[in-house]
Amino acid sequence: MMTDNRLLAALTPQARNEPDSGIIRAAMHGFTVPGVIPLWAGEGTLPTPEAFARPAAEALLRGETFYTWQRGIPELRAALARYHTRNFGRPFDDDAFYVTSGGMQAIQTIVQLIAGEHGEIIIPTPAWPNLAASLRIAGARPVEVAMAFRNGCWRLDLDRLFDAITPRTRAIALNSPSNPVGWTAGIDELIAIRDVCRKRGLWLLGDEVYARFYYGEKAEHRAPSLLDVCEDDDQLLLANTFSKNWAMTGWRVGWLQAPRVLGPAIERIIQVNSSGTPAFLQRGCVAALDEGDAFIARQVAEAREGRDLALRMLGEIPGLRFEIPRGAFYLFFAVDGMADSASTVRRLIDEAKVGFAPGSAFGPGGEGYLRLCYLKDRATLSEALSRFQSWMAVSRPS
Amino acid sequence: MMTDNRLLAALTPQARNEPDSGIIRAAMHGFTVPGVIPLWAGEGTLPTPEAFARPAAEALLRGETFYTWQRGIPELRAALARYHTRNFGRPFDDDAFYVTSGGMQAIQTIVQLIAGEHGEIIIPTPAWPNLAASLRIAGARPVEVAMAFRNGCWRLDLDRLFDAITPRTRAIALNSPSNPVGWTAGIDELIAIRDVCRKRGLWLLGDEVYARFYYGEKAEHRAPSLLDVCEDDDQLLLANTFSKNWAMTGWRVGWLQAPRVLGPAIERIIQVNSSGTPAFLQRGCVAALDEGDAFIARQVAEAREGRDLALRMLGEIPGLRFEIPRGAFYLFFAVDGMADSASTVRRLIDEAKVGFAPGSAFGPGGEGYLRLCYLKDRATLSEALSRFQSWMAVSRPS
């Protein structure tokens, strides 16, 4: 024990004091309990389609197992340009894209590019906690601005957002559609944020990982995007991932989109982060981008059905409050009388065999809520929500 | 151009000013020149054996494509414990091991655990440049202590090493066998360094990636190791990789070995670095550890033959000086009259179609040298060295 204390004391304060991710804590506990239905993580029930997995498996077996391009293989960067040109209605160049070992690594690369010691990045919350954690571990500072849930709607107060700017601010982070609340920025909001970033010389850190999971009223195939309102020479950095659209969470491949002039700096950081992403995996990602549109459409349709099922079944439980999410694939719902979402999540795993993420994991404004991922097949989701209904009928959340 | 300058000025100084890795610069140039024989990187000619690749490909195709354990799958951590127990003559526990997305990510995790702002880590050079780069990008400071090449031998002066300790020193890094010079610490040196670290409360950061590539005189199956002289409660952190022993450079899977009490802190950092390593790849790593001993023996035998061939062919060229390396799989040789190794490397790629790494990439004490990797099949290595011989016969290094 004395030894343990001595070893812990020899860590940096930020490594020692950083809290565990509440999502991961739930998942790591849930992994040890047989039969739990996991709705804690942002992933669906479907494994990666064989059409994307096979090219990767074949490249691995034919020996494409050497060091590769730090920016990603040329074929994947070209496929990323094609995908964006197709979906964002204007041409994109291969040189805008850098392959990373997951979306998280794209975010960490951005932090290492722009945050620096004591630099601040403004983050609307509730938010996926990893950007804030990455900043703290790097010695920088997340400045969290809580969104408000009023009259059944989540709203980002732009005045409060801009009031958080200080001389140390390096960027405004915008996750739209948002994990966990599903809030989605409109074009006017994107323009307002862009204009302030331009005027103040700030970076705009975009996380549009859920852009395709958008339940607009005009059958739009994606949410409004920073790419709709920014030019190539804006201070725009976008982190993205293959995880969600193409059911590839376990692959750990993502990408970073950045102004071309940053290329050498990004390559240097990739070198010390990961030294590149497996070339054989990138072959599967090319297939996903070029042949994955029908799969995405299927996933989005399943998410919409899951959303509607979850809305209906949660609606049958007294004491819950939530907004109908416009994007992403989570329901973030308030539970009346719940003061400790982490403890409630643990009890739900143990007692009801259903796994959510605790609202407290998502920063200011998150306690009192639970998050579930509704990108699940109907039978799984229905069984999970039945278990939750039964538990709520006889139990009192902590 | 004005825009480019504005964007670059908005990066942190460390991201903007970090130099490119001279190894990567050589490789990225070499990738564009057809027919070059690449000896710049630390990898062999053999692709990953099918016995290791197939379990990974099969796991991918059967849909093991979801988020996984942040520490690595239990099966791989158990296999790491078995491997170490077998090779280091004492029992190791699964809990000592954390799977990372490559050895570089293990190093970055260590930097994030212990360095902190302005913290210093002492690094003997010439050294693989990535640890120093990782420290600078994190806002910490590499303190480089140049080894001396005298009377045909590389030697680490322990007094100079310990004289570099300041109140900001957090760790001494030790890469043995060394990339690039092949120097290998003896047990007495390991004990001396361990004792100073114990006395001063410093971490010992071990990189023993090349431990199995050891050409001792008693047919030892590995080099002396920090694991021979340290206890479980020493401040010892070891970064390692599947890349070298098992011909898996392109997989980007490694591991970190650390005192058990650091587990939660390591998991938090893994979460923001990579969010875990693909589970399906880890299945291949289990096979490598459990079934790979014959392959390692074959690789080490090939490396020894390559070393002897390279020593003979370089020995035929006037004006070169080098030590016979005791470990790893590089020759680091001085070229008389060469003042700019990076320029010489570029010319060798363009003019002779043979690719080395420039000595200047390896920090203080490295300029004036070139590094080649001799873990190559005989025909490839022989052709590459013939090209170098021919070029040297008519050209003057820059």
Q: What is the 3-state secondary structure (H, E, C) of A214-230?
A: ECCCCCCCCCCCHHHHC
**Are B338 and B255 in a shared domain?**
no
Of the residues A60, A262, A273, the best mutation for testing chain B's interface (the one with the most B CB atoms within 10 Å of its CB) is: A60
Q: Please write the tens of the pLDDT for every residue from A311-322.
A: 999 999 999 999
State how far the Cα of B286 lies from the Cα of B78, in Å rounded to an integer: 9
- Separate counts of helices (H) and strands (E) for chain B: 15, 15
Q: What is the CATH number of the domain that holds B146?
A: 3.40.640.10
Q: How far apart are CA A64 and CA A68, in angstroms?
A: 9
- Are B299 and B46 in contact, with CB atoms under 8 Å apart? yes
Instruction: Give, rounded to a whole angstrom, the gap between the first and last alpha carbons of chain B.
Output: 32
Do both B179 and B311 map to the same domain?
no
φ/ψ of residue B375, rounded to 5? -85, 75
Residue among B322, B316, B30 nearest B180 (CA): B322
Q: Can you give the pLDDT at residue A293?
A: 97
Interface confidence: ipTM more than 0.90? yes
Predicted local distance difference test score (pLDDT) of residue A1: 67
Instruction: Determine whether the interchain pair B15/A114 forms a contact, defined as Cβ–Cβ distance below 8 Å.
Output: yes
Q: How many CB atoms lie within 10 A of CB B300?
A: 19
B277 touches chain A (CB under 8 A): yes
User: Are residues B216 and B350 part of one domain?
Assistant: no
Instruction: Tell me, yes or no, if A45 comes closer than 8 A to chain B by beta carbon.
Output: no
Which chain B residues have a beta carbon less than 8 Å from that of A67? 27, 41, 43, 249-250
Task: Determine, yes or no, domain membership for B397.
Answer: no
Strands B203-207 and B357-358: unpaired
Please give the backbone phi and psi of residue B279, each rounded to the nearest 5 degrees, phi first.
Answer: -60, -40
**Within a domain: B267:** yes
Which of B269, B291, B313 is where one domain is finished?
B291
Looking up tokens 């990225």 gives B28
Note the helical H segments in B138-262.
158-163, 187-200, 226-229
Kind plus residue range of the DSSP H or E element containing B15: helix B13-17
Same domain membership, residue B143 and residue B271: yes
**pLDDT-derived band of residue B1, with 50, 70 and 90 as boundaries?**
low
The Cα–Cα gap between B274 and A238 comes to: 17
Please indicate, yes or no, whether residues A359 and A286 belong to a single structural domain of this protein. Answer: no
Q: Do A17 and A71 fall into the same domain?
A: no
Q: Are B116 and A139 in contact (CB under 8 A)?
A: yes
| B94 class by beta-carbon count within 10 Å (0-12 exposed, 13-18 middle, 19+ buried) | middle
d(C-alpha A34, C-alpha A19), whole Å: 26
b (16+ CB within 10 A) / e for B262-275: bebbbbbbbbbbbb
- What three-state secondary structure class fits B397? coil
Do B95 and B319 touch, CB atoms closer than 8 A?
Answer: no
Same domain flag for A374 and A299: yes
Q: Average pLDDT of chain B?
A: 96
* CA distance, residue A260 to nearest chain B CA (Å): 9
What string of DSSP letters covers B181-210?
T-----HHHHHHHHHHHHHHT-EEEEE-TT
pLDDT exceeds cutoff 80 at A152 = yes
Tens-digit pLDDT profile for residues B331-373: 999 999 999 999 999 999 999 999 999 999 999 999 999 999 9
pLDDT tens sequence across A161-179: 999 999 999 999 999 999 9
Cβ contact B137–A269 (<8 Å):
yes
Chain B residues in contact with A233 (beta carbon < 8 A): 3, 7
**pLDDT, chain A, mean:** 96
List CB contacts of A218: < 8 A, sequence separation 6 or more.
none
Residue B105 lies in a domain: yes
DSSP β-ladder status, B236-241 and B330-335: unpaired
In which residue are the tokens 């409050």 written?
A: A321
The pair phi, psi for residue B178, each rounded to 5°, is: -90, 135
Residues A60, B120: Cα–Cα separation, whole Å: 39
Q: B233 at the A interface (CB within 8 A)? A: yes
Instruction: Inspect the interface and report whether the beta carbons of A11 and B113 lie closer than 8 Å.
Output: yes
* Non-local CB neighbours of A113 within 8 Å, separated by 6+ positions: A237, A262, A265, A266, A269, B11, B12, B15
Q: Any idea what DSSP says for residue A101?
A: S
Name the β-bridge partners of B148. B155
Cα–Cα dist A170/A120, whole Å: 6
Domain that holds residue B374: 2-48+294-392
Indicate the residue of A60, A107, A112 with minimum beta-carbon distance to B15.
A112
**CA distance to A175, A243, A338, per residue, from B279 (Å):** 28, 14, 35
Check residue A72 and give its pLDDT. Answer: 97
Q: Tell me the sheet residues that pair with B144.
A: B123
Q: Chain A neighbours among B 66-125 (CB < 8 Å)?
A: 66-70, 101-102, 104-105, 107-108, 112-117, 119
**Phi, psi angles (nearest 5°) of residue B331:** -110, 130
C-alpha–C-alpha distance, residues B60 and B294, integer Å: 26
**Given an 8 Å threshold on Cβ–Cβ distance, is A271 in contact with B12?**
no
Q: Is residue B158 pLDDT above 90, yes or no?
A: yes
Q: Give the domain-ending residue among B291, B324, B346.
A: B291
B2 has a pLDDT exceeding 80? no
How many separate domains does chain A show?
2
User: What whole-number percentage of chain A has pLDDT above 90?
Assistant: 95
The answer to whether the predicted template modeling score (pTM) of the entire model surpasses 0.90 is yes
Q: What is the CATH number of the domain that holds B41?
A: 3.90.1150.10
On whether both B26 and B79 belong to a single domain, the answer is no
Q: Strands B120-125 and B141-146: what pairing?
A: parallel
Q: What is the mean pLDDT of residues A121-138?
A: 97
CA distance A277 to A109: 14
> Is a pLDDT exceeding 80 seen at residue B72?
yes
Q: What is the pLDDT of residue B3?
A: 86
Assign B160 to helix, strand or coil.
helix
Same domain as A305, residue A159: no
User: Per the omega criterion (within 30 degrees of 0), is the bond before B167 cis?
Assistant: no
Q: Are A205 and A121 in contact (CB under 8 A)?
A: yes
Q: Give the integer Cα–Cα distance in Å for B388 and B353.
A: 9
Residue A98 exposed, middle or buried by CB count within 10 Å (0-12, 13-18, 19+): buried
Residue B59 lies in a domain: no
Return phi, psi of residue A357, to 5°. Answer: -105, 140
B313 within some domain: yes
Q: What is the pLDDT of residue A2?
A: 76
Same domain, A266 and A390: no
Question: Which region, left, alpha or beta, applies to residue B247 given φ > 0 means left and ψ of -120 to 50 means alpha?
Answer: left
The residue in chain B having the minimum alpha-carbon distance to the alpha carbon of residue A54 is: B61
Q: Do B105 and A250 touch (CB under 8 A)?
A: no
Nearest to B278 among A3, A104, A252 (CB): A252
Find, among A158, A211, A215, A213, the residue nearest to A189 by Cα: A158
Secondary structure of residue A383 in the 3-state scheme: helix
pLDDT in tens, A36-58: 999 999 999 999 999 999 999 99
- Mean pLDDT computed over A143-163: 96
Give the rounded percent of residues in chain B with a pLDDT score beyond 90. Answer: 95
What's the token pair of residue A341? Answer: 């979402």
A254 with A305, same domain: the answer is no
Predicted pLDDT of residue B52: 98
% of chain B residues with pLDDT over 70: 100
Q: Which of A226, A260, A291 delimits the end of a domain?
A: A291
Backbone φ, ψ for residue B310 (5° rounding): -65, -40
Cβ pair A121, A143 in contact under 8 A:
yes
pLDDT tens, B271-329?
Answer: 999 999 999 999 999 999 999 999 999 999 999 999 999 999 999 999 999 999 999 99
List CB contacts (< 8 A) between A235 and chain B.
7, 10
| B112 has a pLDDT exceeding 90 | yes
Check CB contact of B263 with chain A, cutoff 8 Å.
Answer: no
**Tokens 């950007």 — which residue?**
A131
**CA–CA separation, A122 vs A170, rounded Å?**
8
Mark yes or no for CB contact B261/A4 under 8 Å.
yes
Asked if the structure places residue B56 within a domain, the reply is: no
Each residue of A347-365: pLDDT tens digit? 999 999 999 999 999 999 9
Do A140 and A273 fall within a single domain? yes
The reply to whether B53 falls in a domain is no
Average pLDDT estimate for B170-192: 98
Between positions 150 and 169 of A, the ones with CB within 8 A of B are none
Q: Which residue, among A50, A272, A299, would best test binding to B if mutated, counting the most B CBs under 10 Å from its CB?
A: A272
- DSSP β-bridge partners for residue A255: A99, A240
